[in-house]
């Protein structure tokens, strides 16, 4: 397999996220896109999808534009990144933004859903892990107005949006993590 596109995407993402820590974690932000990419790699070896997984937060969380992604990596990678990028402004109500994102993912092509799934699985894993470490103080990290209730709601609607993966081990793990979180 030729890894040139992925290598270029990894370097681009590392540069875009340089100096940025993961919110509430204290480690480099780039570890999240790396983790999401590893999850995507359990579902596909498509170089464009792996590149998109590495780049999935560059437009939402850095100064990079979707046009830059398109110019550097092509239309398909840009489209895959765009599906996993919030479409409503950050000042829109939290639930509206999250519902819109879940609706987009639910109707997205399968390749886009795979990239989104890697991101959402990684995020949920980190939430559950951090909950074990710090308990209810975790909810202060989020802009969700109702804390845990909103987070559980969001990852539940995402589970429905991503049900195409119901037969995979990763999806079963996702549901187990969601169940564990909702029972806490």
Domain at 162, CATH number? 1.10.3210.10
Half-sphere CA count of 151, side-chain side, radius 13 A: 26
Which pLDDT tens digit goes with each residue over 99-121? 999 999 999 999 999 999 999 99
pLDDT of residue 87: 78
Residue ranges in the chain modelled with pLDDT below 50: none
Q: How many domains does the chain have?
A: 1
Longest dimension (CA), the chain: 46
The tokens for 82 are 């765009």
Which residue range forms the structural domain that includes residue 150? 4-183
Unique residue bearing structure tokens 């792996």: 50
The tokens for 94 are 């939290």
Half-sphere CA count of 53, side-chain side, radius 13 A: 32
Unique residue bearing structure tokens 């909950």: 131
Q: The pTM is what? A: 0.95
The region, left, alpha or beta by phi > 0 then psi within -120 to 50, assigned to residue 13 is: alpha
């Amino acid at each position: 397999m030729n890894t040139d596109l992925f290598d270029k995407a990894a370097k681009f993402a590392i540069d875009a996220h340089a100096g940025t820590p993961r919110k509430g974690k204290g480690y480099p932000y780039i570890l999240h896109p790396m983790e999401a990419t590893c999850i995507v790699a359990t579902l596909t070896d498509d170089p464009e999808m792996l590149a998109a997984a590495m780049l999935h937060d560059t437009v939402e969380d850095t100064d990079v534009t979707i046009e830059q992604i398109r110019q550097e990596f092509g239309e398909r990678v840009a489209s895959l990144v765009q599906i996993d990028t919030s479409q409503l402004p950050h000042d829109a109500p939290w639930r509206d933004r999250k519902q819109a994102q879940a609706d987009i993912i639910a109707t997205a092509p399968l390749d886009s859903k795979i990239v989104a799934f890697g991101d959402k699985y990684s995020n949920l894993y980190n939430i559950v892990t951090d909950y074990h470490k710090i308990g209810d103080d975790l909810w202060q990290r989020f802009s969700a107005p109702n804390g845990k209730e909103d987070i559980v709601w969001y990852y539940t609607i995402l589970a429905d949006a991503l049900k195409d993966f119901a037969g995979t081990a990763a999806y079963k793990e996702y549901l187990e993590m969601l169940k564990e979180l909702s029972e806490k």
